[in-house]
A and B are shown apart, each in its own frame.
Chain A
Amino acid sequence: MAEPHSSSHEHKQGFWRTYWFSTDHKVIGIQYGITALLFLLFGFGLMLLMRWQLASPGVEIPLLGALTPEMYNQFGAMHGTIMVFLGIVPLAVGAFGNYVVPLQIGAPDMAFPRLNMASYHFFFWGGVVMLASFFVPEGAAKAGWTSYPPLADIETMGQTMWLWGMVLLITSSLLGAVNFITTIIQLRADGMTFFRMPFFVWAQFITAFLLLLAFPPLEAAGFLQLADRLLDTSFFLPSGLVTTDGPLEVAGGGSPLLWQHLFWFLAHPEVYVLILPAMGIVAEVLANNTRKPLWGYRLMVYSLIFLGFMSFIVWAHHMFITGMGTAISAFFQVTTMIISIPSVVILSALFITLWGGSIRFTVPMLFALGFLPMFGFGGLTGLPLGLAPTDIPLHDTYYVIGHFHYVVAPGTILAMFAGIYYWYPKITGRELNNTLGHIHFWGSIVSMNVIFFPMLIQGMAGVSRRLFDGGHTYSFSEGVMHYNVLMSVAAFALLAFQIPFLINFFMSLKRGRKTTRDNHWAATTLEWSATPTPPVPHGNFETVPTVYRGPYEYSVPGHATDFLSQDEASPPAAEAVAAEELVEA
């Protein structure tokens, strides 16, 4: 660390170098964050168009006209792809991980700053390719976010774009994962042992391993599907396939199931990529706002590691209806039941953390508290899908959509908002408005439930999840069709409740109350206690912090304040007075 604080140097570098080709992890984190939020909004918009169609099939949408089945399929496939790969993962890992992890472990930057920049640019161009695919002949990919062959093999050009986009996104994730793991192993400050790392860092660490080792098989599958589409191989095409244009002129002999195996080998760990950083954020916010140490920190870390490991060997529970043999399906049912244990352990530990805490109901805390039951509910509705006998009737219905969205929407997305409200003062040096935050929270959590709960009911009634008209053509679904209007109204309400957030987000940049102290939330972790707010551009720390204790030393008996920062040597009397002022401020 020759001269870690050299902001003047950076300021001379001009607009492009400072904001677009930056190697500073904080700028890259913000780039990721803003891009990902825009993609989330766009993906949400696609879904609103679909919900319009489902509530009132065939009724024209203003400016766009009536939806065609082809458009509906495009929007469905791209909604999934955009939300998962361009929205949540970049927000959870790219934005929060990038911004917070180096600060929390006391590192001057990521281990490979230029690789970090490259990672963002791969992600960005992957997103551009995905969006551009809407404008090629016959539009974007229509084969679902899972891109199952044989359909995906014979789809229009949009599918090829989807595959190239995925190759770029996977490359981005791999570079990011290498960078995160190296940073966490190599750049921890003095005294920051593994078991003194905040739970959020642990979550990012395990997530990075999932990305590193689970994504490559999907990349392999992507290359094989590209070969199928561009070189006319038949890796995923069985013999004797007939389409509406007659028999398919290919060699055949391939296996559509091969794609499903390779895809879900990634995509199940991917579910944990979506949820682990969310758990990390919630853990930070909970400990800070209950003014208590996390209950069972070590237990949570061990559960996390076990969860990461198990997530690699449960994938085929997505494939019970593909004609799997009973023995192998029994294996995957058992592993699926086992993997729910560490999830429950973590969730329970978070709940127990609340016990006896003097809870501050700040806006980030509200979102974190909202996450707990919603994620729990999402997890519980998943259990029937992990067992073949109940999965088989439910699999292709709205039940699966309801379950999955409970995990990622009121689950992960609420946690993401918790993170935004929690770290916004750190990043900008200004506070967000409380009232708008409350409107945002209550409006979002209620409308999310109104959208997703009826899906479970529709699913149990047997409504297929892939129908353009929502299921009106089937008599058995008549009894539950009326929910579609309610769900769609709630979806538009959810949009409306994001407006206070957007206003809050942008107005507070200029008008928000300035934070009066560096450690805005009176937190123990390094990003609050050892850096100024907002942090310095390059290098992060004016003096490299030394870590003396674990991450959640709140309400330590005998200490002057109710928190004891990780880098606070030992509390001498003079500092105790200063800390008292801090509490009063």
Chain B
Amino acid sequence: MSLQIPYEVTPRLDTGVNNAKLGIWLFLASEIMLFGGLFAAYVFLRMGADAWPGLEIYGTGEMATRADQILNVPLATLNTMILIASSMTMVMAWASLKMDNFSRYKLYMGITILLALGFLVVKAIEYGDKFDHHLYPATNNFLGVYFVLTGLHAIHVTGGIIVNAWFWGPGTKMWTQGTARDKAHFANRIEIAGLYWHFVDLVWIFLFPTIYLI
């Protein structure tokens, strides 16, 4: 495209931001409302439920009184750690670009992606364990909320992995073969991808205690 859109890379003077920065925050605002809607639905359902979680503890025949008697808190804690670590490596990847250290960027971005994959593996183990005990989304609304909310979050994680993998692999051409402007553009893109990734982390920070611990 020969057409140049203004403020693609450099910030506009009166707003102080470039287009992509504003765009991603607007997108995140809508994501806030998406997960907000889901959380509101969760609150609504839980307020109306006769019992929560309303399930028997595996093998004991006793009714569970707390979510952590059904869900695997140690695994979820591990996943929380994985996700905040990946958030940290993501921001380090961006900082490495700012310091013009491309190999460090590759390293940190690579770790971010691996951690995210690790998160999904742990999630899959968790889900598999539930299915083994014949606990499905249809079993009751506690499990429905658990599967749908964590599932939508996992889809967001997957999206993040795809974006980050692009910027780790083929997308790096912009940096390695580009002009100074392209490099600045690439660093901006990593910042944008990072903002999305931190948001995914942020959602988990709320999902973890409200679904697993309370």
Closest Cβ neighbor of A231 among chain B residues? B137
CB distance from A68 to the nearest CB of B (A): 32
Decide yes or no whether A436 CB sits under 8 A from chain B.
no
Q: Are A221 and B144 within 8 A (Cβ)?
A: no
Q: Name the residue among B27, B41, B138 with the largest chain A CB count within 10 angstroms.
A: B41
Query: B3-34 CB contact bits vs A (8 Å, 1 = yes)?
Result: 11111000010010111001100110111111
Closest Cβ neighbor of B23 among chain A residues? A182
Q: Are B137 and A227 within 8 A (Cβ)?
A: yes
Closest Cβ neighbor of B26 among chain A residues? A178
| Contacting residues, chain A, for B54 (C-beta < 8 A) | 253
Given contacts A213-B33, A216-B31, A251-B139, contact A182 B45 (CB under 8 A): no
Q: Are B3 and A262 within 8 A (Cβ)?
A: no
Q: CA of A258 to CA of B40 in the docked complex: distance in angstroms?
A: 9
Given contacts A108-B3, A108-B5, A231-B137, contact A213 B19 (CB under 8 A): no
Q: Are A250 and B138 within 8 A (Cβ)?
A: yes
Q: Are A182 and B26 within 8 A (Cβ)?
A: yes
Return the 3 tightest CB-CB contacts between A and B, nearest first.
A217-B37, A220-B37, A232-B138
Given contacts A185-B22, A220-B38, A223-B148, contact A232 B137 (CB under 8 A): yes
| Contacting residues, chain B, for A2 (C-beta < 8 A) | 2, 4
Q: Are A174 and B30 within 8 A (Cβ)?
A: yes
| Contacting residues, chain B, for A115 (C-beta < 8 A) | 23
CB distance from B140 to the nearest CB of A (A): 5
A selection of 16 A-B contacts at a CB cut-off of 8 Å is: A108-B3, A108-B4, A112-B19, A113-B5, A186-B19, A212-B29, A220-B35, A223-B148, A231-B137, A233-B137, A233-B141, A235-B41, A235-B45, A250-B138, A258-B45, A538-B2
Closest Cβ neighbor of A239 among chain B residues? B50
Q: Are A186 and B7 within 8 A (Cβ)?
A: yes
Q: CA of A254 to CA of B5 in the docked complex: distance in angstroms?
A: 49
Q: Are A217 and B19 within 8 A (Cβ)?
A: no
Q: Are A258 and B33 within 8 A (Cβ)?
A: no
Decide yes or no whether A177 CB sits under 8 A from chain B.
yes
Q: Are A216 and B138 within 8 A (Cβ)?
A: no
Q: Are A217 and B40 within 8 A (Cβ)?
A: yes
Q: Name the residue among B36, B38, B50 with the largest chain A CB count within 10 angstroms.
A: B38
Q: How many residues of A contact B (CB 8 A)?
A: 52
Contact of B34 among A1, A178, A220 (CB under 8 A): A220
Decide yes or no whether A261 CB sits under 8 A from chain B.
yes
**Interface stretch (choices A3-11, A90-98, A297-305, A488-496):** A3-11
| Contacting residues, chain B, for A233 (C-beta < 8 A) | 137-138, 141, 144, 147-148
Within 8 A of A (CB), among B138-157: 138-141, 144, 147-148, 152
CB distance from A145 to the nearest CB of B (A): 19
| Contacting residues, chain A, for B17 (C-beta < 8 A) | 186
Query: B31-70 CB contact bits vs A (8 Å, 1 = yes)?
Result: 1111111101100110011100010000000000000000
Closest Cβ neighbor of B2 among chain A residues? A6
Decide yes or no whether B1 CB sits under 8 A from chain A.
yes
Within 8 A of B (CB), among A467-526: none
Q: Are B30 and A234 within 8 A (Cβ)?
A: no
Q: Are B4 and A178 within 8 A (Cβ)?
A: no
Decide yes or no whether A215 CB sits under 8 A from chain B.
yes
CB distance from A582 to the nearest CB of B (A): 30
CB distance from B129 to the nearest CB of A (A): 18
Q: Are A109 and B34 within 8 A (Cβ)?
A: no
Sample of 20 further A-B pairs with CB below 8 A, known A217-B36, A234-B140, A251-B140 = A108-B5, A108-B6, A174-B27, A178-B30, A182-B23, A186-B19, A187-B19, A212-B30, A216-B34, A217-B40, A219-B34, A219-B37, A233-B141, A250-B138, A253-B45, A255-B44, A261-B40, A262-B41, A538-B3, A539-B3
Q: Are A261 and B44 within 8 A (Cβ)?
A: yes
Q: CA of A187 to CA of B36 in the docked complex: distance in angstroms?
A: 30
Q: CA of A223 to CA of B26 in the docked complex: distance in angstroms?
A: 21
Query: A208-240 CB contact bits vs B (8 Å, 1 = yes)?
Result: 000011111111110110010001111100000
Given contacts A178-B30, A186-B12, contact A109 B5 (CB under 8 A): yes
Contact of A258 among B3, B19, B44 (CB under 8 A): B44
Contact of A187 among B7, B26, B147 (CB under 8 A): B7
Q: Are A187 and B6 within 8 A (Cβ)?
A: yes
Q: Are B23 and A112 within 8 A (Cβ)?
A: yes
Contact of B33 among A23, A107, A217, A253 (CB under 8 A): A217
CB distance from A222 to the nearest CB of B (A): 10
